[in-house]
Structure 1
Amino acid sequence: MIIEERPWDDPAGVRLRAAQVAELDERYGGEDHEPGEAPSAGDVDVFLVALDDREPVGCGALRRLDEHSAEIKRMYVTPHARGTGVATALLRALEERAAARGWPLLRLETGTEQPDARRFYEREGYRQIPLFGAYEGSELSVCYERTLS
């Protein structure tokens, strides 16, 4: 597996994010499941694509929150690649890039209908926190954070 930093508008990344949105639309029964501002090329600092045998199988991004923290956005692994270590490798690569930029605190939002994602982040050392920023008041959001060592 290879993890590459790519531009936000990279075609493989666009396809992966579209697949993620379709899956979330299905889980939540519609399109209204993302509070806050959607990430864009203008505010994403890091975008990674995981490739297995040259096939894009996952992605993840970092969006800076402030001087010392960033938010993990658009973590996604294709269904056939789940359970193979892609998500863990992507998360570690994002954490390494955050640390290199001086962002020791990572936060993220996932949803109430994503128990698999919640288990994954908890297993990887993220702890549940009160809803932050645009997620405050959302009935669909669950937020986590981890301080990198």
Structure 2
Amino acid sequence: MAEWIIRERPWDDPAGAALRAEQVAELDARYGGGEHEPGAAPSADDVDVFLVAERDGAPVGCGALRRLDGSSAEIKRMYVTPPARGTGVATALLRALERHAAGRGWPRLRLETGTEQPDARRFYEREGYRQIPLFGVYQGSELSVCYERTIS
């Protein structure tokens, strides 16, 4: 039995906001301060699904979907706290996002991660995502690496 519970939450949920702030702090440590993402940051106006994972009532991870077009969505703000890494919660969050995408008729999922995040790159590759050319706002970014997976 899993040690965590994954629930859909509003984008402005306090637990989710705290997790996203932790993610920004980690990205600042890896890349230096400043903006880490080309294009518009996800917001309540354009995030279709936002999930928060909890263990023993404490938030340990999150992830979101933002629709790209009629058949695809982008995974955004996928983050797991360092103590929860290696427990399977990241995979559970990813699979939950994939189920939500499939339920909305979005068989193609894309995502962007960074050159200084080899752990994230290994994770997505292990989970069946393949590296693709930079897409959309990430085109021309020297720090971005993009992935895609078609789900059934």
* Range into which the TM-score falls when normalised by the shorter chain: over 0.9
What's the secondary structure of 1:72's corresponding residue? strand
Residue 81 (str. 1) matches residue 84 (str. 2): yes
Name whichever of 22-31 and 55-64 sits farther off: 22-31
TM-score relative to the length of structure 1: 0.99
C-alpha displacement of 1:110? 0.1
Gaps of 5+ in 1: none
Aligned to 2:36: 33
What's the % identity of the aligned pairs? Answer: 84
Deviations 1:38-75 (A, max 9, x none): 00000000000000111100000000000000000000
Aligned to 1:10: 13
**Distance in 2 separating the partners of 1:22 and 1:47:** 20
Gaps of 5+ in 2: none
Paired residues, what number?
A: 149
TM-score relative to the length of structure 2: 0.97
Runs in 1 of length 4+ with deviation above 3 angstroms? none
What's the secondary structure of 2:131's corresponding residue? strand
C-alpha displacement of 1:32? 2.8
Q: Which amino acid aligns with 2:108?
A: L
C-alpha displacement of 1:33? 2.0
Aligned to 1:137: 140
C-alpha displacement of 1:37? 1.0
Following superposition of structure 1 onto structure 2, how do residues 1-149 of structure 1 map, counting pairs within 5 Å?
Answer: 1-149=4-152
**Distance in 2 separating the partners of 1:10 and 1:129:** 32
**Distance in 1 separating the partners of 2:58 and 2:86:** 16
**Distance in 2 separating the partners of 1:95 and 1:58:** 16
**Distance in 2 separating the partners of 1:107 and 1:36:** 15
CA RMSD of aligned residues (A): 0.5
**Distance in 2 separating the partners of 1:36 and 1:23:** 20
